[in-house]
């Protein structure tokens, strides 16, 4: 009997490792029983970039094969604009949120993000009417200016005077929590103050968003077991839900009492009202406290979380690109009105900021590279074939990767990783049109974000005030990386020093 010698064994091992290496450059290793899950677990601390790497190598779409005994088997991961257009626009009716989405995002209840069919249409129509009302637009602008002047500026001045190191992400979370809740309920929780006190309901929102993310990267049976046992991320999610429910219930109760006790003044008629007031005034008795709870929480996530994440990445990118910073300040100098120029801290009129093309381009560029919602979650009702050629059915989970799409050379060109506001400006100096299925920071198709202009109004005011009056210096050596959450926060926050701009 002839035995295999050492040279043959070494040769076979080299061949195996070489083939494995070549394969791993295309897709993660698909292990028996475990599928590609081990590779996901190993790269969980950098999952967004890990997905991006494989999407680049596989033409913007690849199939993740998880353990055969879980529902993680056959997940289509895509950053292909053609697929996005098909799912979110052309074949929209075949891709509702569905039961699985509702299960993953159960904390949002029956709010607009989870709703489908008639419920979604009714809620969207109601929200659209309210958001586009001139009185609300006036209330939005007034709220943004007042909160910057009475909340943001005093805190920034205090940080400057005391030469403190501050987490800018935390500061912006507090600001957006306050402004969003004012717009929703007329109540200012005053989270933004020089004391930087802890507020359980602010942290609860973060815990919930992180727990929902983890539901996407572990087998369903596992997180359901954790929920049953009350351990891990599911324990945090349960506690977060209880905290948020109690907080929102107090807001609703307070608002109902105010509605009963007072008659609306002419000043309120002029300045507009918050969402809860408007909804309660139109209520014929059919809307329960649970409806108001779900509405407030859904819009709180949409307004507070996405806005603070976008602003944090904006200041990080601008701080690391001094040429862009200089251009932004030059544009702001031309926009500030003479009466505001004389103030110690210069403020901007909201109307003056609307026409700033370079600032708008900078925001779009930030959201291209760091979309506040880094991925979506879809399942088709009926069997379908995506433009990429991938077959999907009701058992298939589709993960549209918005974070990765902004990093695709085939979509944005060889400079796709560069921060270039000019990318969004035409030769004539206007805003360049980019289809929403290519730039999905505000979703696409019938579910396009209703609060897009609200976001830009608040971002312009915050960015202009801080950039024109203060200098942001990131603490040397502070690590910056995306957090594992359904909102693209920075994992370790953004530690900075703030000084007055000379």
Rg over CA atoms, the chain = 24
Contact indicator for 408, 416 with CB cutoff of 8 Å: yes
- Give the 3-state secondary structure of residue 370: coil
What's the angle, vertex CA 60, arms to CA 372 and CA 218, rounded to 5? 60
51 is annotated as contributing to ligand binding: no
Output the six-digit token pair for 274. Answer: 């918050």
Measured distance CA(300)–CA(243) in Å, rounded: 14
What is d(CA 384, CA 78) in angstroms, rounded to the nearest whole number? 15
Q: What is the DSSP letter of 500?
A: E
The answer to whether 247 and 201 are in contact (CB under 8 A) is yes
- Measure CA 19 to chain center: 39
Pair 172, 308: CB distance under 8 Å: yes
* Token pair in block for residue 304: 């507070």
Q: Between β-strands 470-474 and 397-400, what pairing exists: parallel, antiparallel or unpaired?
A: unpaired
DSSP string, 265-276: PHHHHHH---HH
Largest separation between any pair of C-alpha atoms in the chain: 102
Which residues pair with residue 397 across a beta bridge? 75
The CA distances from residue 219 to 1, 66, 228, 392, in Å, are 48, 9, 15, 20
CB 405 within 8 A of CB 79: yes
Three-state SS at 101: helix
Task: At 431, list the tokens.
Answer: 């805003």
CA separation for the pair 140, 124 (Å, rounded): 19
Distance CA 55, CA 446 (A): 26
Q: What is the DSSP letter of 94?
A: G
Task: Output the DSSP codes for 194-212.
Answer: TT----HHHHHHHHHHHHH
Closest listed residue to residue 447, CA positions, set 137, 101, 213 = 101
b/e sequence 29-49, b meaning 16+ C-beta within 10 Å: ebeeebbbbebbeeeeeebbe
d(CA 502, CA 500): 6
Q: Which residues contact 360 (CB under 8 A, 6 or more apart)?
A: 424, 431, 456
d(CA 180, CA 185): 9
Residues making up the annotated binding site are 449
Residues making up the annotated binding site for heme are 449
């Amino acid at each position: 009997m002839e035995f295999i010698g050492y040279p043959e064994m070494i040769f076979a091992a080299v061949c195996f490792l070489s083939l494995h290496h070549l394969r791993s450059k295309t897709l993660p290793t698909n292990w028996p029983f475990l599928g590609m899950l081990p590779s996901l677990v190993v790269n969980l601390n950098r999952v967004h970039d890990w997905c991006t790497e494989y999407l680049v190598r596989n033409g913007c779409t690849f199939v993740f094969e998880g353990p055969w005994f879980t529902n993680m088997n056959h997940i289509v991961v895509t950053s292909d604009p053609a697929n996005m257009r098909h799912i979110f626009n052309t074949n929209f009716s075949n891709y509702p949120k569905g039961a699985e989405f509702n299960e993953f995002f159960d904390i949002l209840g029956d709010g607009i993000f989870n709703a489908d069919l008639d419920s979604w249409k009714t809620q969207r129509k109601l929200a659209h009417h309210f958001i586009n009302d001139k009185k609300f637009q006036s209330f939005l602008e007034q709220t943004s200016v007042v909160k910057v002047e009475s909340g943001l500026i005093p805190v920034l001045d205090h940080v400057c005077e005391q030469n403190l190191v501050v987490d800018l992400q935390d500061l912006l979370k507090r600001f957006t929590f306050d402004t969003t809740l004012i717009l929703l309920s007329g109540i200012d929780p005053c989270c933004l103050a020089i004391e930087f006190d802890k507020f359980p309901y602010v942290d609860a929102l973060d815990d919930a968003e992180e727990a929902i993310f983890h539901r996407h990267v572990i087998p369903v049976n596992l997180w359901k077991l954790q929920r049953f046992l009350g351990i891990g991320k599911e324990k945090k999610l349960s506690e977060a839900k209880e905290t948020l429910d109690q907080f929102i219930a107090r807001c609703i109760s307070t608002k109902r009492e105010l509605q009963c006790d007072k008659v609306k003044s002419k000043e309120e008629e002029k300045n507009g009202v918050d969402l809860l007031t408007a909804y309660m005034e139109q209520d014929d008795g059919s809307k329960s406290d649970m409806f108001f709870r779900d509405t407030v929480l859904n819009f709180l996530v949409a307004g507070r979380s996405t806005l603070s994440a976008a602003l944090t990445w904006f200041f990080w990118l601008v701080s690391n690109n001094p040429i862009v910073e200089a251009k932004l300040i030059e544009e702001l100098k031309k926009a500030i009105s003479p009466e505001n120029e004389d103030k110690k801290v210069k403020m901007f009129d909201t109307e003056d900021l609307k026409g700033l093309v370079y600032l708008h381009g900078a925001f779009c560029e930030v959201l291209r590279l760091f979309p506040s919602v880094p991925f979506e979650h879809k399942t088709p009702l009926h069997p379908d074939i995506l433009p990429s050629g991938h077959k999907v059915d009701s058992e298939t989970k589709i993960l549209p990767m918005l974070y990765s799409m902004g990093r695709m050379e085939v979509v944005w060109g060889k400079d796709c990783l560069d921060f270039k506001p000019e990318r969004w400006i035409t030769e004539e100096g206007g805003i360049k049109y980019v289809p929403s299925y290519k730039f999905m920071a505000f979703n696409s198709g019938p579910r396009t974000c209703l609060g897009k202009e609200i976001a830009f109004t608040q971002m312009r005011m915050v960015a202009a005030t801080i950039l024109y009056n203060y200098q942001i210096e990131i603490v040397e050596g502070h690590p910056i990386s995306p957090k594992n959450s359904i909102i693209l926060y920075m994992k370790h926050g953004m530690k900075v020093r703030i000084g007055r701009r000379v």
